[in-house]
Amino acid sequence: MLIPHPLLGPRDAAEFTVMGDASLIDRPDPQSDDAARAFHDHVYLRDNPAGVHRELWFHEHGDRSWLVVTRNTLTHEILEVRLARDVALEHGR
Amino acid sequence: MSFSAFRILAEALTGHGGWKPMWREPEPQARYDIVIIGGGGHGLATAYYLAKEHGLTNIAVVEKGWLGSGNIGRNTTIIRSNYMLPGNEPFYELSMRLWEGLEQDFNYNAMVSQRGVLNLCHSDAQRDAYVRRGNAMIMAGADAELLDTDGVRAMYPFLDFANARFPVKGGLLQRRGGTARHDAVAWGYARGADMRGVDILQNCEVTGFLIEDGQCNGVETTRGTIRAGKVASCAAGSSSRVLEKAGLRLPIESHVLQAFVSEGLKPVIDGVITFGAGHFYISQSDKGGLVFGGDIDGYNSYAQRGNLPVIEDVCEGGMALMPAIGRARLLRAWGGVMDMSMDGSPIIDRTPVNNLFINAGWCYGGFKATPASGWCYAHLLATGKPHPVAAQMRLDRFERGLAIDEKGAGPQPNLH
Ligand SMILES: Cc1cc2nc3c(=O)[nH]c(=O)nc-3n(C[C@H](O)[C@H](O)[C@H](O)COP(=O)(O)OP(=O)(O)OC[C@H]3O[C@@H](n4cnc5c(N)ncnc54)[C@H](O)[C@@H]3O)c2cc1C
């Protein structure tokens, strides 16, 4: 798999570490009333879809940036790659 | 129809005309007491033990493809009970004991071969960890032996003992571990279940659940609606996809694991060897092919095929351990989709939906678990109570802070 890195162009997937579902960006509010449940769901539960999946890839053997890769888990086709920073900012993080 | 040496002789003399199909091809009935989703090893073993041990035979196993088309027919066939934690080891030891009597029990040749599983260690710290694990195994009634370098050399003189980075310092040997013929395990359980009246419905995909007032009353399938007293999911790598239809989100990610076979060679490895410094393990099939594997690819996948970097990584592990392997040619590689759980341990439990049960999270180690998984799941389904050795394999254990994390890697499935 080649990951089209937004800054560096196509990079071999072997340079990356996969850190899981990109929903991990959306950390729950620790002050909310149901924080314990929300954190359990956030840390332990996954949608795990067959099809389009947004996930965090860390460019460990590269520029050490975090990416949000949108990928099809049935075909391994890569649909979109963005800097995780931009996605996090958009989500108000 | 039972198998015996006499039977083979009689068939040989009469032109082998007497062999019959091993199971029926029934039409789905409108209702069963129990519907099991998934005709892999675990689903078939569950049906078999429900029928044989609990006398429940109004059961269907629904399988979306052909029987054994999932991981039961894709794994590298290693069986062992060399876990450490109390939530796991007694379960795997029960499995080992069931393996030891399996062929007589279901009268089918599953080629169970207790050829020994040897985990190599390459540092003092790793040896200490193996001593601890070995002791835990012995306390759970399993067998474990610690070998020093000479002990390993006597078994496998061709290993790279003086490797500059990863010298072989010894190993943890479980002599009762070994391999079994994966397809035959599925076939043997299927035949045993079918003989006792279980309907095995192939090409029958579950597409939804009949849930009324928080209670599961059956499944929708591509061959029509089937009502059921209890529904037992046993879909391995597809568990999230299946149970999503009942509104559940699971502590599971599906990942791809690859396996490899070399061309056929003369006998060279008579047991199972695992490299302790990288992820690489190897055995030799009875046909002569070296069967080996290593890490999962690391990303979510339902594709049943992996990528080249992992093939390179696995082969490098092989070269570091036994350089002679470089002379063998790789014949085939394939992948299977595995249900990686958040702590690397499985789940056998009820779900929040009444009468809907879950058996999942087997990661890359569920083949060895097949007999005990079926045994314990059947126990839960028949008696309503968890079997004692599977009692910690709960769906809600993460919520309760009771993870069973052998590796201590935390909730990141691709590290287990
Ligand atoms: C390459 C590889 C090597 C492995 N090596 C080992 C090993 O050496 N030792 C070991 O212990 N374990 C090993 N494993 C793991 C082991 O194979 C699995 O954990 C185990 O087989 C899973 O249980 P199962 O046999 O029931 O799964 P499966 O055979 O996958 O059964 C699940 C079944 O559910 C069916 N299904 C899915 N969705 C639906 C639906 N909607 N409706 C109806 N049916 C459905 C599937 O078609 C499938 O047949 C390996 C796995 C792989 C991929």
Write the CATH number for B49.
3.50.50.60
**Cα–Cα distances in Å, from B93 out to A28, B14, B209, B402?**
41, 43, 35, 21
Contact A21 B251 (CB under 8 A): no
**pLDDT tens across B302-342, in order?**
999 999 999 999 999 999 999 999 999 999 999 999 999 99
Give yes or no: residues B141 and B188 share one domain: no
Query: For residue range B110-119, what is the model confidence (pLDDT) as tens digits?
Result: 999 999 999 9
Same domain, B321 and B369: no
Residue B9 within a domain: no
pLDDT digits over B134-146, tens only?
Answer: 999 999 999 999 9
Q: Report CA(B52)–ligand 1 centroid distance (Å).
A: 23
Distance from CA of B121 to the nearest CA of A (A): 26
- Length of chain A equals 93
| Residue in B244, B251, B303 nearest the CB of A44 | B251
Select from B249, B302, B303 the Cβ nearest to the Cβ of A47. Answer: B249
A13-46 pLDDT, tens digit per residue, is 999 999 999 999 999 999 999 999 999 999 999 9
Would you say residue B5 lies in a domain?
no
According to the model, what pLDDT value does residue A93 have?
85
Cβ atoms of B346 and B262 closer than 8 Å: no
Distance B73 CA to ligand 1 centre (A): 8
B223 burial (CB, 10 Å; 0-12 / 13-18 / 19+) is: middle
Chain centroid, CA B229 distance in Å: 27
Q: Is residue B205 part of a domain?
A: yes
Could you give the percent of chain B with pLDDT greater than 90?
98
Residue B293 resides in a domain: yes
Residue B302 lies in a domain: yes
Residue B220 pLDDT exceeds 70: yes
Question: Does position B12 have pLDDT exceeding 80, yes or no?
Answer: yes
| Residue that finishes a domain, picked among B321, B341, B361 | B341
Best substitution site from B71, B72, B202, B244 to test ligand 1's pocket, by max atoms within 8 Å of Cβ? B71
**Whether residue B52 is found in the same domain as residue B194:** yes
Half-sphere exposure of B20 (CA within 13 A, CB side): 8
Query: What pLDDT does B143 receive?
Result: 98
- Angstrom distance (rounded) from CA B294 to CA B308: 13
Q: Are residues B351 and B203 in the same domain?
A: yes
Answer whether residue B83 is part of any domain.
no
How many domains, in total, are found in chain B? 2
Does residue B8 sit within a domain? no
Question: What integer is the mean pLDDT of B238-264?
Answer: 97
CATH of the domain at B316: 3.30.9.10
Same domain (yes/no): B372, B408: yes
- Position B1 pLDDT exceeds 80: no
Write out the residue range of the structural domain in which residue B287 sits. 113-179+253-341
pLDDT at B222: 98
Same domain, B159 and B265: yes
Both B169 and B122 in a single domain? yes
Residues B333 and B347 in one domain: no
CB-based contact B309 A14, cutoff 8 Å: yes
The answer to whether the CB of B110 falls within 8 A of the CB of B182 is: no
- With beta carbons under 8 A apart, name residues in chain B contacting A11: none
Across B201-224, average pLDDT:
97
- CB neighbour class for B335 (10 Å; exposed up to 12, middle 13-18, buried from 19): buried
Neighbours of A76 (CB within 10 A): 18
How many residues can be counted in chain B?
416
Of B341, B376, B393, the residue at which a domain comes to its end is B341
Q: Which residues from chain B sit within 8 angstroms of residue A43, using beta carbons? A: 398, 411
Predicted-complex ipTM score: 0.96
pLDDT, averaged across chain B? 96
The domain locations on chain A are 2-26+46-90
Which of the four pLDDT bands, split at 50, 70 and 90, describes residue B2?
A: confident
Which one of B341, B369, B395 terminates a domain? B341
Residue in B91, B279, B364, B376 to alter for ligand 1 test, most ligand atoms within 8 A of Cβ = B364
Q: Ligand 1 center to residue B75 CA distance, Å?
A: 8
Nearest CA to ligand 1 atom 48: B70
Same domain for B324 and B373: no
CA of B374 to the centre of ligand 1 (A): 13
Residue B360 has pLDDT above 80, yes or no: yes
Assess whether B170 and B207 both reside in one domain.
no
Calculate how close chain A gets to B398, using CA atoms only, in Å.
7
Would B227 be classed as within a structural domain?
yes
pLDDT digits (tens, 9 = 90+) for A38-88: 999 999 999 999 999 999 999 999 999 999 999 999 999 999 999 999 999
* CATH (one of 3.30.2270.10, 3.30.930.10, 3.30.1360.20, 2.70.98.60) for A2-26+46-90: 3.30.2270.10
Give how far B393 is from chain A: nearest CA, Å. Answer: 15
Same domain, B74 and B166: no
What is the reported pTM? 0.96
Minimal CA separation from A77 to chain B, in Å? 11
Kindly state whether residues B299 and B164 are assigned to the same domain. Answer: yes
